[in-house]
């Protein structure tokens, strides 16, 4: 079967291939074995309360539209129904549910942010590991203990953990500073901070 691509699709594939090659060359040049990517969108399971809360709010404010069944019935029954839908879904299905909610809200920015970790994993494979903030905090010590001069890593931290905040309120900048403050770790770790807030509106 022959697949015909539009000029836009061809251009997008070319851009992705170029970006992948540039990243791989960058990692090779710095002798970086893998990327550790920490973002509040990496674990969809941590977005459960936002999913349920936003839907309950929409039931009250958007009576002329419906998502995941009828808005009818009490708030309690509706909340129980959507909670069951979420809890019975596997992780890929939960991400689809969450994206459906964002599309319903016409929240294009969050749709892009939610899919970004999966796209990185799709293109970089074993070169990148994804962590939610909580997963990083829980696994950090074991991960860093394995590092050596032949197994360097690039830690990338989203600066804003709004959708899956840590209990103590630390953000990506705090986690990066924490890593770099570990004695001797700078020989094995590079750290970066990223955020859509750092991008100029005029760029």
Which is nearest to 124 in space by CA: 10, 15, 27?
27
**Rounded Cα–Cα distance for residues 36 and 26 (Å):** 15
Task: Specify the 3-state DSSP secondary structure of 191.
Answer: strand
Which is nearest to 160 in space by CA: 12, 22, 40?
40
**Rounded Cα–Cα distance for residues 181 and 166 (Å):** 20
Residue-level pLDDT at 64: 66
CATH 3.40.50 in the chain, residues? 27-43+115-198
Instruction: Report which listed range, 24-28, 123-127, 170-174, is most confident.
Output: 170-174
pLDDT tens per residue, range 90-117: 988 888 888 888 888 888 877 777 777 7
pLDDT above 70 for 78: yes
Which is nearest to 129 in space by CA: 22, 192, 45, 42?
42
Residue-level pLDDT at 201: 42
Residue-level pLDDT at 2: 57
**Distances in Å between the alpha carbon of 161 and those of 144, 158, 188?**
22, 7, 25
Whole-number average pLDDT of the chain: 82
Residue-level pLDDT at 86: 93
Percent residues over pLDDT 90 in the chain: 21
Q: Which residues does 149 contact at the CB level (< 8 Å), separation at least 6? A: 187, 188
**Rounded Cα–Cα distance for residues 47 and 174 (Å):** 22
Rg (CA), the chain: 20
Reading across the β-sheet that carries 189-194, which strands appear in turn? Answer: 128-131, 32-38, 152-158, 189-194
pLDDT tens per residue, range 116-154: 777 777 788 888 898 999 999 999 999 888 887 777 899
Q: Give the architecture-level CATH label for domain 27-43+115-198.
A: 3-Layer(aba) Sandwich (3.40)
Which is nearest to 51 in space by CA: 36, 68, 39?
68
């Amino acid at each position: 079967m022959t697949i015909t691509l539009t000029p836009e699709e061809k251009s997008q594939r070319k851009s992705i291939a170029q970006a992948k090659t540039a990243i791989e060359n960058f990692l090779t040049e710095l002798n970086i074995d893998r990327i550790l990517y920490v973002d509040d969108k990496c674990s969809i399971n941590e977005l459960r309360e936002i999913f349920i809360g936003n839907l309950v709010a929409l039931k009250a404010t958007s009576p002329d539209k419906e998502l995941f069944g009828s808005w009818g019935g009490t708030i309690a029954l509706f909340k129980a129904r959507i909670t069951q839908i979420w809890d019975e879904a596997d992780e890929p299905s939960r991400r689809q549910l969450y994206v459906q909610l964002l599309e319903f809200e016409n929240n294009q920015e969050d749709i892009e942010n939610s899919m970004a970790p999966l796209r990185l994993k799709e293109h970089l494979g074993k070169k990148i590991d994804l962590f939610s903030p909580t997963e990083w905090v829980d696994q950090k010590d074991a991960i860093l203990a394995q590092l050596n001069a032949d197994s360097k890593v690039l830690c990338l931290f989203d600066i804003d953990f709004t959708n899956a905040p840590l209990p103590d309120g630390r953000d990506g900048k705090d986690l990066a500073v924490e890593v770099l403050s570990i004695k001797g770790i700078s020989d094995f770790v590079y750290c970066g901070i990223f955020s859509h807030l750092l991008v100029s509106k005029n760029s």
